[in-house]
Structure 1
Amino acid sequence: MTSVLLMALFAGLSTCLGAMLVLIWGRPGRRSFSLFSGLAAGVMLAVVLLDLIPASLRHGSATQGLLGFTAGILLMVALDLFLSSESPVGNWNYTYLKMGYLIAAGIALHDLPEGLAIAAGFVEPGHLGPLLALAIALHNIPEGMATAAPLAAGGLSPLVVLFLNGLVSLVTPLGCWLGLLLTHTSPLFLSPLLAMAAGAMAYIVKAKLLPECLRLHPPMAYLGLFGGIVLVFFLNLFF
């Protein structure tokens, strides 16, 4: 269990890496942000199609898989609706701080089902657990960038920005710990959890990652997307 939680912590701490990149070099350019977001989208999409859905069907029925997949999508939609609000008009520091806090809260809530997904992946024999941790780690880097930029613009010191991102990072291993408890309590939880992770990650790709990276720089976005899919394909092929 310790090694699994350490992998989940590694995935969560990628949020801090994204924040550090912004604090050191400033907000990334359109090309680099699109490439990295596209890479994260490609990895997550390939993991959903090649690993999560087949593993869910191996451990349960198609009905369980469909219900879990739908639950994952609905969970992410509910989180988005809960956190959506209009920012106040103006250029005051409060505007940036509020935006940063909202993004941080959203990422923290998103990280909980991601931790559950990592736990379910490690219960499944093979390489699914490390693949999920890699996919979520890649996804968390641009999220850390998105959190750090408005908080820094709002006047918070770099140490405080990193501290807040560190707190957000801890939600992933917390979700992983809860997932391990559920799957060890009853194997019946494994199939729905895998499918729920697939639904949540599919929503993140469709509603968040792809629209943003395609808006900024489509060629780099498609390059990253293709690279992420190929990476997971070869990992599946050789490992």
Structure 2
Amino acid sequence: MTTLATVLGVTGVAGLATGLGALPVFFRNRVTHRVYDAALGLAAGLMVAASVFGLVIPGMEEGTLRAVMAGVLLGGFALLGGNYLIPHLHAEYREWFAEGGATDDDVAVMETPAADPVAEATGRSDESDAGAGTAADDAGLLAERESSLRKALLIGGAITLHNAPEGLAIGVAFASGLEEVALLLAIVIGLQNVPDGFAFAVPMAETGMPNLRVVWYTTLSGVVPQVVASVFGYSLVGLSAGLFPVSSGFAAGAMLAVVFRELIPSSHGHGHADAATGAFLVGFVLLVVVDAVVVV
């Protein structure tokens, strides 16, 4: 019987892989748009294959086709509903777009280099003898902190929508006693998290945020929502093993919605559709190979 500690550990490791994808920000001047689009295509291929081979098929083996397909529709439309309702910023290469309740003003803020409130405060303290540290400076510092907080919330909304279904899938599989499926999903999601983290980190780095902070935030964006969602899925199915077919379909539907709503559109339209498509196929084949090795 899989313990909750195992679920947390496996999902946490998969989430940490997101931070690896942020490492190229240290060399982002060499990161081309082609590479960015290919990374999105690779992530999409992995997620599509994982949804089919890791969730839909095992769900049909444990339950009925009707239950699994109902879960797919529920998960897909839940993702679309969340995308509409939750204010967040959708990141593309060097561009941000308002989604949900986010506004064009939020996008405008992201287009300017992000100042470091701590550094600013330190700089002003050094100039205290010259008359700095006035009420106006304090007000400006507070406004900057509020702006940074809103940025974090808007970015966090998008990342949660992307990563929560993946954690849910791992938790659901573990709770249903399908350890091999759960480990397969964790491996695939860990692989997918690398290009996913890269796709998120590059535009965030373009705001002027320090590289180490970009890596830290990107890592948290993978670990936190996936661990929380995995615990939720594990607890939900633990209440009734019969929920696995619907739950697996729900996670698959949400992941497929992420692919077609975010990853594929973001990887096309920039003149590198062939690179993105080729990477998609590589990702799909890679998942099938990993699946075959784990099953054997």
**TM bracket, shorter-chain basis:** 0.7 to 0.9
Is 1:165 the counterpart of 2:185? The answer is no
Cα shift readout 1:11-40 (whole Å, capped 9, x = no counterpart): 212222222322x11163122222222222
Is 1:21 the counterpart of 2:10? The answer is no
Give the alignment partner of residue 230 of structure 1, picking from 285, 288, 291.
285
Counterpart AA for 1:164: Y
Hey, what's the Cα distance between the residues in 2 that align with 1:102 and 1:145? 18
Hey, what's the Cα distance between the residues in 2 that align with 1:204 and 1:234? 23
Q: Which moved more, 1:224-233 or 1:125-134?
A: 125-134
Change (3 A) 1:213 1:156: closer
Hey, what's the Cα distance between the residues in 2 that align with 1:160 and 1:105? 18
Match of 1:77 in 2: 80
Cα deviation, residue 194, structure 1 = 0.5
Hey, what's the Cα distance between the residues in 1 that align with 2:276 and 2:240? 41
Cα shift readout 1:36-87 (whole Å, capped 9, x = no counterpart): 2222211211122233111112222222212211111112112211231333
1:19-58 alignment runs, 5 A limit = 19-22=22-25, 24-26=26-28, 28-58=31-61
Hey, what's the Cα distance between the residues in 1 that align with 2:203 and 2:185? 28
Is the Cα–Cα contact under 8 Å of residues 76 and 200 in structure 1 kept in the other structure?
Answer: yes
Cα shift readout 1:158-187 (whole Å, capped 9, x = no counterpart): 343333334322221121122212222210
Counterpart AA for 1:162: V
Q: Greater helix percent: which structure? A: 1
Structure 2 gaps of 5+ residues are 88-98, 115-146
Change (3 A) 1:166 1:50: closer
RMSD across aligned C-alpha pairs, in angstroms? Answer: 2.7
1:81-230 alignment runs, 5 A limit = 81=84, 82-83=86-87, 84=99, 85-88=102-105, 89=108, 91-93=111-113, 101-122=153-174, 123-125=176-178, 127-168=180-221, 169-216=223-270, 217-230=272-285
Structure 1 gaps of 5+ residues are none
Hey, what's the Cα distance between the residues in 1 that align with 2:259 and 2:72? 14
Match of 1:4 in 2: 7
Cα shift readout 1:177-228 (whole Å, capped 9, x = no counterpart): 2221222221022111100111011111212112222334122112111112
Is the Cα–Cα contact under 8 Å of residues 183 and 189 in structure 1 kept in the other structure?
Answer: yes
Hey, what's the Cα distance between the residues in 1 that align with 2:46 and 2:199? 20
Change (3 A) 1:211 1:153: closer
Cα shift readout 1:103-148 (whole Å, capped 9, x = no counterpart): 3321124322321111123335363212322332233334433443
Hey, what's the Cα distance between the residues in 2 that align with 1:129 and 1:20? 27
Aligned residues: 238
Q: Determine which structure has more spread, i.e. the larger CA radius of gyration.
A: 2
Counterpart AA for 1:106: A
Hey, what's the Cα distance between the residues in 1 that align with 2:292 and 2:201? 37
Hey, what's the Cα distance between the residues in 2 that align with 1:29 and 1:126? 39
Counterpart AA for 1:183: V
